[in-house]
A and B are shown apart, each in its own frame.
Chain A
Amino acid sequence: MLTRRNESSPTGEVLTLACLKTGGKARVLDLGGAGINRRLVSLGIGPGTELEVVSVHPFRGPVVVRVDGAQVAIGRGLAEKIKVEEPV
């Protein structure tokens, strides 16, 4: 498993959901912002959730991920706040 180097990296090299490519898999480390958390959480996205990226829409469009059996579209701005790690 990767360490949490991303979070502490001073160069700001944080792996977020928005960095992933179509088909990429990731595990959520941390959701950004408090209020919005709950909307994601109610769709089953929280710390430790494993995701698969279904599609990344061009021109800063939403990122669609698969969580278990469901697909969830997440706006790009929010996807940029969700810190993830790539599972080994």
Chain B
Amino acid sequence: MAIALVGQPNVGKSSVLSRLTGVNTVVSNYPGTSLELERGELTIEGRKYEIIDTPGIYSLALAQNEETIVPELLFDPAVDLVIDVIDAANLARNLVLTLELVDLDKPMIVLLNQIDRVRAGGYWIDHQALSRMLGCPVFPFSALTGEGVMEVLNLLQASSKRGFSRFRPHQDIAGQITCVVGSDCTGKCLRCLSQNRETGCFDKALWARHERARTLAERVLIKQTAAQVLWLTRVEKFIDKPWQGSLVLLGLVLLGFKALLSFTGWMEGLVANTFAPVQEILSRGIGMVVPPGFWNQVLSKGVPEGILLPFALVMPAMLMVSLLMSLLEDTGLLARYAVVMERFGGLFGVSGQAVIPLALGFGCRTPAIVATRILPGTGQRFIVMTLLSIVIPCAATVGMITSVISSFHAYASVIIVTTLVVFVVLGRLMKSRYGEKSELVYELPPLRIPLGCNLWSKVKTRCTGFLTEVLPLLVIMSVGVRIVIDSGVLERLHALEELTRFLFGIPAEAFAAVLVTVVQRYLAPLILLNLTLSPREATIAISMVALSLPCLPVMVMIWREAGVKTLGKIMGMGFLVSFAIGILLNLLLPC
């Protein structure tokens, strides 16, 4: 039996899925978290239920591009039941979608989710009256407290024998929106989608549904007590004042960077101390097992390096960045940055919403590429994908780069300034070609207290992903790099030495590290750390590595999301930027 969870963005569909099935889905406090279907399974008395979480949509009739997977799923006869998840604290607007769903004539139940917030606001919803009007079961629900879960499970269990009854909405609700244009229009304007979307009928029907939802909401919403003034509401009021809010947000960014730097510094020492013996043992152990010779040399150095480097360099930054990012996502602050940054976005031809994928990119760029879907327009998506791929350093990159910087005493400030300049210049250049004018229309989530378990599960997901996917690869590649270094292939590159010195001011081996980013970005630091470089050379080489191609998973994701042509363009630009940076820094930096 298949059940679809449908609702407007950020109402808590994914949280409901986790509550009901225990499956680990991404839950964040901003609209547009889930962008794909996600499935969970539930077994009641031996009967299996497949529950499908969907991306949030405001209206079925207005679904565009990727959003159309929701109406498609609903029209699929395999879906037996629709669970409409409503943000009860915003009843009127949420009921618009409910009314559309009513018109679909499918078995449905309605969850008044976030009922805890409604109560805190001093309201109560007469769910029985609402149930009579809609003609389907309505449950007060809270994915946060677990209220209503038993009722829903009981209903599923009871209906598993009889099957779900079709519901009969009150005559006031269904099919009442009359058509003003064409005679063959049903007036519901959900099924006549395939016809002309541009008719006045469509817009009228849309707004009529809103007004209907509003009257319905007014009838069932009952003021009970005075609203509790939560301290969170006070914080929200404070942050939402433009000046002080911007200052607070800026302060938080600085605080975040400070936390990141001190944490990585502290961890690096710790990891180095605890891992030095491990490395020693590993390299001795391998040295004893493998017969002396070339392979002994290669393995006893390459394997420990491949394991130690990621732990010492990447893990600390990754832990901290993913924690900070999760905090921004779950409190609702991330969406507030989108508003504050809107004016700057205009400089690059993107809207304020671009802040969300760009900021996510600091954690990991792969999900950030998917998150560009929330942007209006393909031009904007292309700009943001390019900036993400070439400029934004992800947590792993930051970790790698900082360690290379410190081991060669490279000029960190030069690298930071270069990154900023590239961001601005690339953004401006792309704006003139791909920029689209679009106005921000974006729903701000309420501020919430982040849940510890949710933060923990996000950090854990990211770190296990790294350990299982990237770490083994790095060990293998680290051995590969050792082979290359020990076999003396790099020395053959000396033919190029004159050219690379002239153009970029770096030795040929360092240039090889830049080129190797095509295969795997994380390899570059492994090579660099094995060379002897002056601070100036290191600065140029690191900048060239940092501002070039993204890692393989990101490239695959771009291919999937935007096609191979876009990927080609972005890769081309990546090399161009990288080489241009090398040449410019070589000219500008004093020897």
User: Chain A: residues with CB nearer than 8 A to chain B?
Assistant: 22, 36-44, 46-48, 54-62, 64, 67-75, 77-78
Contacts and interface: CB of A to CB of B under 8 A. Distances in A.
Given A57-B339, A59-B343, A60-B343, A38 B90 contact: no
Contact of B206 (A38, A68, A72): A38
A82 to B, nearest CB: 11
Given A42-B58, A55-B240, A75 B207 contact: no
Contact of B339 (A44, A47, A59, A64): A64
B275 to A, nearest CB: 47
Give the interface residue-count category, chain B. Answer: 20 to 34
Nearest to A69: B90
Given A39-B441, A40-B441, A72-B443, A62 B240 contact: no
A62 B103 CA distance: 36
B528 interface: no
Contacts of B62: 38, 41-42
Contact of B242 (A36, A37, A55): A55
Given A41-B62, A75-B352, 7 more contacts: A38-B206, A41-B207, A55-B245, A61-B343, A70-B93, A73-B440, A73-B443
Contacts of A58: 242-243
Interface in B324-348: 338-340, 342-343
A86 B59 CA distance: 29
Given A62-B339, A69-B89, A70-B90, A43 B242 contact: no
Nearest to A44: B93
Nearest to A58: B242
A60 B243 CA distance: 13
B210 interface: yes
B242 A78 contact: no
Contacts of B203: 37-38, 41
Contact of A43 (B240, B343, B439, B443): B443
B234 interface: no
A60 B242 CA distance: 12
18 contacts: A38-B62, A41-B206, A41-B210, A42-B58, A42-B62, A43-B441, A43-B443, A55-B240, A57-B339, A57-B340, A62-B342, A62-B440, A72-B442, A73-B339, A74-B440, A75-B439, A75-B441, A78-B440
Interface in B154-205: 203
Given A55-B241, A62-B352, A64-B240, A36 B441 contact: yes
Contacts of A55: 240-242, 245
Interface of B: 58-59, 62, 87, 89-93, 96, 203, 206-207, 210-211, 240-243, 245, 338-340, 342-343, 351-352, 439-444, 446
A68 to B, nearest CB: 5
Given A47-B207, A55-B241, A73-B441, A68 B93 contact: yes
Contact of B439 (A48, A59, A67, A78): A78
A58 to B, nearest CB: 6
A71 to B, nearest CB: 4
B32 to A, nearest CB: 13
Contacts of A59: 343
B439 A36 contact: yes
Contacts of A41: 62, 203, 206-207, 210
Contacts of B440: 62, 73-75, 78
B348 to A, nearest CB: 15
Contacts of B442: 72-73
Nearest to A74: B441
Nearest to B89: A69
A20 to B, nearest CB: 14
A57 B91 CA distance: 28
A72 B338 CA distance: 12
Contact of A67 (B58, B93, B242): B93
A37 to B, nearest CB: 7
With most chain A CB atoms within 10 A of its CB, the pick from B89, B206, B441, B444 is B441
Given A55-B241, A73-B339, A44 B439 contact: no
Contacts of A57: 242, 339-340, 342-343
Nearest to A56: B242
A77 B439 contact: yes
Contacts of B338: 73
A22 B244 CA distance: 14
Given A41-B207, A55-B242, A73 B58 contact: no
A45 B122 CA distance: 25
Nearest to A48: B211
- Interface hub of B62, B91, B245, B342 (most chain A Cβ within 10 A): B342
B206 A71 contact: no
Nearest to B118: A69
B441 A64 contact: no
Contacts of A75: 342, 351-352, 439-441
A39, A47, A68, A70 — most chain B CB neighbours (10 Å): A70
A44 B384 CA distance: 29
Contacts of B243: 58
Contacts of A71: 240, 443-444, 446
Contacts of B443: 43, 70-73
Contacts of A73: 338-339, 342, 352, 440-444
Contacts of B89: 69
B352 A46 contact: no
